Amino acid sequence: MSDTRTDESRSGDYGGSGPDSTPALEMEAIRKVYEVADEEVVALDHADLTLAPDEIVALIGPSGSGKTTLCSIAGGILSPTEGKVVVGGKDISGYSSKELTGFRRDSVGFVFQTVNLIPFLTARENLLVVDEIGSRDRKRANERADQLLEELGLEDRAGNLPSQLSGGQKQRVAIGRALMNEPALVLFDEPTSSLDSKLGDQMVRLIREEMKSRGTAAIIVTHDDRITGYADRTVHITDGRLEA
Partner 1 sequence: MSLSLKELRRRPGRFGVATVILTLIAILLMFLGGLLDGLTAGNTGAIRAQQADLIVYSSTSQDSLVRSRIEPEQEKQVAAVEGVSGVGELGSVQLGARIDGKGPRDLVPVVLFGYQAASEGLPEPPTRPGEAWADATLKAEGVEQGDTVRVGPARSTIKVLGFVDDTRYAGQSTLWASLRTWRMVQNENRPDARVTPGISQALVVQSSPDASGLAGRIDEATDGFTSSLTESEAIDALPGVAAQESVFNQIIGLTVLIAIIVVALFFALITVERIGLYGVLKALGAGSGRLFAGVLLQAVIVTAIACAIGALAALALDAVVPAGSIPFTATGARLVDSTVFLLVAALIGCAFSLRRVLRVDPAQAIGGGQ
Binding site for partner 1 (CB under 8 A): 1, 43, 63-64, 66-69, 71-72, 75, 77-78, 98, 101-106, 110, 112-113, 116, 118, 120-121, 125, 129-130, 132-134, 177, 181, 187, 189-190, 221
Burial class for 37, CB neighbours closer than 10 Å (0-12, 13-18, 19+): exposed
Q: What SS3 class is residue 184?
A: coil
Q: Which is nearer to partner 1, 79 or 234 (CB)?
A: 79
105 vs 214, beta carbon nearer partner 1: 105
Nearer to partner 1, 31 or 112 (CB): 112
- In the chain, helix, strand, coil percent, each to 5? 40, 25, 35
Nearer to partner 1 by Cβ, of 52 and 69: the residue is 69
Per-residue DSSP letter, 227: G
| 39: CB partners within 8 A, 6+ apart | none
Minimum distance of partner 1 from residue 46's CB (angstroms): 18
d(CA 118, CA 113) in angstroms, rounded, equals 14
Please say which residue, 3 or 52, places its beta carbon nearer to partner 1. 3
DSSP assigned state of 10: I
CB of 230: closest distance to partner 1 in angstroms? 21
Burial class (CB within 10 angstroms; exposed 0-12, middle 13-18, buried 19+) of 57: buried
Query: DSSP readout, 76-100?
Result: TSS--SEEEEEETTEE-TT--HHHH
CB of 2 to partner 1, least distance (A): 11
Helix and strand counts by DSSP (H, E) for the chain: 7, 10
Check: CB of residue 78 under 8 Å from CB of residue 27.
no
Nearer to partner 1, 89 or 240 (CB): 240
Report, in Å, the least distance between residue 98 CB and partner 1: 7
Shortest distance, CB of residue 195 to partner 1, whole angstroms?
Answer: 17
To the nearest whole angstrom, how small is the minimum distance from the Cβ of residue 152 to partner 1? 18
